Structure 1
């Protein structure tokens, strides 16, 4: 669920599961096989959210981070550590990326990565300040080693601040993923409309868009946002509930971390390009649609099937790739040579497929954010 001001709601408490138990969405993504190739090691993902609570499953996987929450006027000395979380939302997103599955929490898709928690006022009465705080967090993340920024938050406040901050991070080679929102309409997260930001929608285990997932021209990817362990009961337990586009964004960020971990010499443009090339496209043969964008990130296609052409280190990742360098006289073995993705017809036979453009979606619950009037394409 994308967070604006509203806190996460309660659900069914999750009993502790064995560390070997994996949810269906991870097995469909071939996570155990991918982890033999890359698990996110060497990649830092900045989670700009409500902070992170030190819970079981996150030990040794979370960096010190920073908080940009301002103290109350009547308590100027009050501090808000990055390793605390009133709401539980940031803790949930962190665990979805790097969790080890213990204590009832989720298995993260990129368990070898590190999360840099950047705490904002999400989940507090001061949540209206969160986007301005997030802008500071984006700059901090870019200056302190983050390769990927995860924004499972949204709102229309302070776009004049977060826009330049995102541009600054991109100039430093950082990928930015943002949740589309959960009001089930085409009134998507305005942050997703910023140039170069990748907007992420949510689908269920069968690849159908969640009725609550917002959509529009800002959608670039979609990932699983169904039932998963989410922090509940005032951040004292894990509950099973829909993770929405927030969870989907964390999985998209983790997918990028896996690819980048396997190819640390690639640039953000090259990582984005292969994720776009290998995404499970809409089954009607369209290049993209407003509900799933270009499809689900499938890092297994890159790590296990050696699909995708990274192309040049710079430029538009949506443009057709060009060779990264001129061919050399020595041939590259076929087993290691990158190749282009399968045709649309072949894609339609693969798992995690996507519905055709035009699927109708009912509004389930609102965590509304401002209407995007027009998306600038990259």
Structure 2
């Protein structure tokens, strides 16, 4: 049965001890240390509309703004208030750490450690989760009104899409850039996140350590970018400690929001359209020359191409960044052990994908089970 609102979390993947090391250092692959010499996200606020934020080891309090809770009070206690800095489930706390974590206490090191996260707490992760879509729409408006540059939606919704669409348009008119997850249903019926179909919202898929799209990653014509979603540090159930699990498309979305924060921090005069455009242009595109595919969109976000290599053309301050982008071509992959070990289905699919600096050949393929038109940003 499809539920109204769902977070894209670790699911049933293998937990590990809090002090175990994730097997893949995506920050090194992304050249984070080099990027941080240029920009670290300072001056950029990322609103994480999610399950809230709990103060935990690994996330400095100064990196997190007061935020707000938009949770609906229970019927029998209409005056009940919920603090934004609480998170019974841990999903919002994990997404916050992906962006601004300090790497201590078992937490991940955030990709944009100089940014600020604005927690917007919804009912995700509680028994009132059915209200989270409507609450999320309120949260998007709050974030836009309080000058969040980037709004991260690492969850999906089926029934409040009209309210979310109107809130997205409101936020876009105020200059915000919005990322959302494609979903973690790619290995089942591949039901997608309807928020990805809203014009201007960038849908994010997930890659594993080899650069291959994760089988769980939902995919289709609204996949725009991708990020790492394999084994990583996230909060254990009930927000009790740090564990190592698959991050999925939630993690990939937060990483992509952080990538945008880095680019925007280095170019504060750019608009949301220009930031999105250069991320699309510099994404690790298909080595067969195709502009995009349904598994990973235009490719994995590579902010180092913009910050370190100075690639990408921001273009006009408005318009549609998805309209005929001209990706910056990456070098052809070498015959590395990673490429040689890629699954046979990658070769069968015929549309290989590049994970930055690895050159792995990866699988692409099926689209959604329903057709939608390619979304466009409202001008």
Asked if Structure 1 and Structure 2 have the same fold, meaning a TM-score greater than 0.5 normalized by the shorter chain, the answer is yes
Q: Identify the residue that residue 291 of structure 1 maps to in structure 2.
A: 295
Partners of 2:296 and 2:232 in 1: CA distance: 20
Measure how far apart 1:375 and its partner are. 3.5
Q: Does 1:66 align with 2:68?
A: yes
Partners of 1:291 and 1:304 in 2: CA distance: 27
Partners of 2:10 and 2:111 in 1: CA distance: 22
Superimposed CA distance per residue, residues 74-105 of structure 1 (whole angstroms, 9 cap, x where no aligned partner) = 22232210000011000000000000011101
Partners of 1:214 and 1:277 in 2: CA distance: 23
Aligned CA distance change for structure 1 residues 5 and 179 (closer, same or farther; 3 Å): closer
Q: Identify the residue that residue 123 of structure 2 maps to in structure 1.
A: 121
Give the number of aligned pairs: 346
Which runs of at least 4 in structure 1 moved beyond 4 Å after TM superposition?
5-10, 347-350, 352-358, 370-373
Partners of 1:239 and 1:35 in 2: CA distance: 26
User: How does 1:326-337 map onto structure 2 within 5 Å?
Assistant: none
CA contact (8 A) 1:87 1:123 kept: yes
* TM-score relative to the length of structure 1: 0.86
Aligned CA distance change for structure 1 residues 12 and 288 (closer, same or farther; 3 Å): same
Q: Identify the residue that residue 219 of structure 1 maps to in structure 2.
A: 223
Q: Identify the residue that residue 177 of structure 1 maps to in structure 2.
A: 179
Measure how far apart 1:191 and its partner are. 0.4
Q: Identify the residue that residue 332 of structure 1 maps to in structure 2.
A: none
Partners of 2:372 and 2:366 in 1: CA distance: 21
Q: Compute the RMSD of aligned alpha carbons.
A: 2.3
Q: Identify the residue that residue 4 of structure 1 maps to in structure 2.
A: 6
Q: Identify the residue that residue 31 of structure 1 maps to in structure 2.
A: 32
- SS in structure 2 at match of 1:154: strand
Aligned CA distance change for structure 1 residues 186 and 120 (closer, same or farther; 3 Å): same
- SS in structure 2 at match of 1:139: helix
Contiguous gaps of at least 5 residues in structure 1: 322-339, 362-369
Q: Identify the residue that residue 338 of structure 2 maps to in structure 1.
A: none
User: How does 1:358-369 map onto structure 2 within 5 Å?
Assistant: 358-359=364-365
Measure how far apart 1:359 and its partner are. 3.8
Q: Identify the residue that residue 351 of structure 1 maps to in structure 2.
A: 357
Partners of 2:201 and 2:328 in 1: CA distance: 26
Partners of 1:352 and 1:156 in 2: CA distance: 36
Partners of 1:37 and 1:108 in 2: CA distance: 16
User: How does 1:1-378 map onto structure 2 within 5 Å?
Assistant: 4=6, 9=11, 11-15=15-19, 24-59=25-60, 60-184=62-186, 185-319=189-323, 342-343=328-329, 346=331, 348=333, 351-353=357-359, 355=361, 358-359=364-365, 373-378=371-376
Partners of 1:75 and 1:357 in 2: CA distance: 51
Aligned CA distance change for structure 1 residues 22 and 256 (closer, same or farther; 3 Å): farther
Measure how far apart 1:316 and its partner are. 1.3
Partners of 1:375 and 1:155 in 2: CA distance: 19
* TM-score relative to the length of structure 2: 0.86
Measure how far apart 1:71 and its partner are. 1.3
Partners of 2:364 and 2:59 in 1: CA distance: 40
Superimposed CA distance per residue, residues 306-340 of structure 1 (whole angstroms, 9 cap, x where no aligned partner) = 1001111111113367xxxxxxxxxxxxxxxxxx8
Partners of 1:29 and 1:195 in 2: CA distance: 28
Partners of 1:164 and 1:354 in 2: CA distance: 40
- SS in structure 1 at match of 2:323: coil
Partners of 2:19 and 2:53 in 1: CA distance: 21
Q: Identify the residue that residue 331 of structure 1 maps to in structure 2.
A: none
- SS in structure 1 at match of 2:239: coil
Q: Identify the residue that residue 351 of structure 2 maps to in structure 1.
A: none
Partners of 1:6 and 1:100 in 2: CA distance: 23
